[in-house]
Amino acid sequence: MTIPRRDFLASVGALSAAGFCSSNPTTMAAPGSAGQASRELSADIAIIGGGLGGCAAALAALRNGLTVVMTEETDWIGGQLTSQGVPPDEHRWIETHGANASYRRLRVRIRDYYRANYPLTAEARDNELLNPGNGSVSRLCHEPRIALAVLQDLLAPYLSGKRLTLLTETRPIAAQVHGDRVQAVTVQSLRSGRQCSLVAPYFLDASELGDLLPLTGTEFVTGAESRAKTNELHALEQEDPDNQQAFTMCFAIDHVAGQDHTIDKPDEYEFWQSFVPDLTPPWPGRLLDFTYTHPPTGKPRTLGFDPTGARPGGTINLWTYRRLADVTNFQPGTYAGDIILVNWPQNDYFLGNLVGVSDQQRAHHIARGTQLSLSLLYWLQTEAPRADGGQGFPSLRLRSDLLGTETGVAKYPYVRESRRIKACFTVLEEHVGREQRATITGQSGAELRAAEFPDSVGIGSYNIDLHPSTGGDNYIDFGTLPFEIPLGALLPQRVTNLIAACKNIGTTHLTSGCYRLHPVEWGIGEAAGCLVAHALHHQRTPHGIRENPDQLADLQRDLAAQGIELRWPQ
């Protein structure tokens, strides 16, 4: 997928672009390039995708002594936490357990960045569990740039020491494969058009959409499986590879009392202003409205919204839901008003997919998703009902600067569903779903637990939370149990040196809904990076490690020593 170039370039992008594939100047013909010369860049591990999974994998490999080359399609590393704009979705135990130690250190460093650089109030500065935005969705709501700065700091010494090569605004375009092994991946700069061949013993697909899978011929699935195929309680009756979750073009706004910041009327406003979703169960009315389908119940509920400080009614107060900056945490004058991130039911785009379509179709859907988000903002500014009986909040200001774009929306879609490898092991609802698990085990209450995987390489917890889909499904939302991440879900059935390191692991349409969140993606990436380091250091193979109990136990001891939790406490 090609993202248009942004004029704003983060410093990490500018640094990496200066020497695009400048090492190991061996020329070779890139596949499909009609003989165009390409440079070769080699490392112990090549990571395609610089999101949370990619960054965690890189840091794990680097601290274990490997050299790494990592690509990222945008100019910001960090994925859903930065270029997609979304503060972390996490479980309720996150402050003490249930995530890798490195992920909790990331969260601490984000808080410390605020303490070192922002004029916090004394109370906020002394709060060990500082939540800069005091958003209700997360215990750590913050601006995307802060996570970007922290991730850049974490990678900085490895960049300086030339153990890490980071190629931003770069995407994979081809691969060389021999038998069951990937030999090389050709990448291309989105700025210069120059190509480079990445050569490594192992390749990690940490891209948001599983981009390496079709390029390397690695078998994968997309969309929804049927109940007959997976025996999942909540699975659909019919298999549909094109039935995929909505994506969202997120945007940030603040409220500047007494000012008018109404944007120009978006080109597609008339369409979106009158759009009624055709979903099952039915959506209660127009998409641009505060009444929506409540995910757990499927019933119409009304959301509250008021940026003026009033206490609106409704199921959720949208103003505080994903708030990135709460002015009460900062010295007076730091902010003109609260800042929020808009990732709501009203700007979920489900009229087309990002996977299984051409580049042109993908760009078309992203453009329409952008129009939907800008139309939502225009509706909020001009037509949204107010508690005083009036309409619109013209004081809402689009904060494109916070997301580093000209359009005002995030650099990249907030992706909920990727291509998924045909894995050595696939996580099903019966392994993690509370209701089906209770039926299978006959257990209940505190004794009811998710399946324990002998090859666990991490843990996580989140409800299965599927957003409206392109196949016409409304929310599918139900409870899960704190779960484990099986090594077999990271390994393709056939290809031996490609490891899944993002949302592309062996899950189903349903179970991907609880394995896609921030700390789990980080854990998947860290496990993948540690796995490759362990395999290279001990001259083993990832598949062989999983199949040999002694080698598997050796890997798990290594992971535990590095702060990776493998089991949930009783």
* Cis-peptide, bond into residue 345, ω within 30° of zero: no
- Tell me, yes or no, whether 293 and 239 share the same domain: no
**Model confidence pLDDT, tens digit, residues 294-330:** 999 999 999 999 998 777 778 889 999 999 999 999 9
* pLDDT class of 9 with cuts at 50, 70, 90: very low
Domain count, the chain: 2
End-to-end CA distance of the chain: 44
Residues 174-187 have a mean pLDDT of: 98
Q: How far apart are CA 224 and CA 503, in angstroms?
A: 15
Structure tokens at 229: 């195929």
Pairing assessment for the beta strands 300-302 and 28-29 based on DSSP bridges: unpaired
Q: How far apart are CA 388 and CA 286, in angstroms?
A: 22
- Tell me, yes or no, whether 448 and 555 share the same domain: yes
* pLDDT class of 23 with cuts at 50, 70, 90: very low
* pLDDT class of 7 with cuts at 50, 70, 90: very low
We report the CATH number of the domain holding residue 420 as 3.50.50.60
- Tell me, yes or no, whether 300 and 359 share the same domain: yes
Q: How far apart are CA 474 and CA 263, in angstroms?
A: 30
Residue 307 half-sphere exposure toward CB, CA atoms < 13 A: 26
What is the residue whose two structure tokens read 């129009």?
371
Across the chain, mean pLDDT equals 93
Confidence check: pLDDT of 371 > 50: yes
Domain of 58? 37-78+166-245+416-570
Confidence at residue 20, expressed as pLDDT on a 0 to 100 scale: 53
Confidence check: pLDDT of 528 > 80: yes
What is the residue whose two structure tokens read 């957003």?
467
Give residue 96's identity as a one-letter amino acid code: T
Confidence check: pLDDT of 498 > 90: yes
Phi and psi angles of residue 556, each rounded to the nearest 5 degrees, phi first:
-65, -35
86 within some domain: no
Confidence check: pLDDT of 432 > 70: yes
Angle subtended at Cα 45 by Cα 43 and Cα 48, rounded to the nearest 5 degrees: 110
Confidence at residue 27, expressed as pLDDT on a 0 to 100 scale: 29
467 within some domain: yes
Q: For a pLDDT cut of 70, what percent of the chain falls above it?
A: 93
- Tell me, yes or no, whether 234 and 253 share the same domain: no
- 257: exposed, middle or buried (C-beta count within 10 Å: 0-12, 13-18, 19+)? exposed
423 within some domain: yes
For 323-437, strand residue ranges (E) read 323-325, 339-342, 348-349, 396-398, 420-421
Length of the chain measured in residues: 570
- Tell me, yes or no, whether 466 and 395 share the same domain: no
Residues 416-433 have a mean pLDDT of: 98
Cα separation values, 20 from 30, 106, 142, 566, Å: 16, 28, 32, 38
- pTM equals 0.94
- Tell me, yes or no, whether 547 and 474 share the same domain: yes
Residues 178-203 have a mean pLDDT of: 98
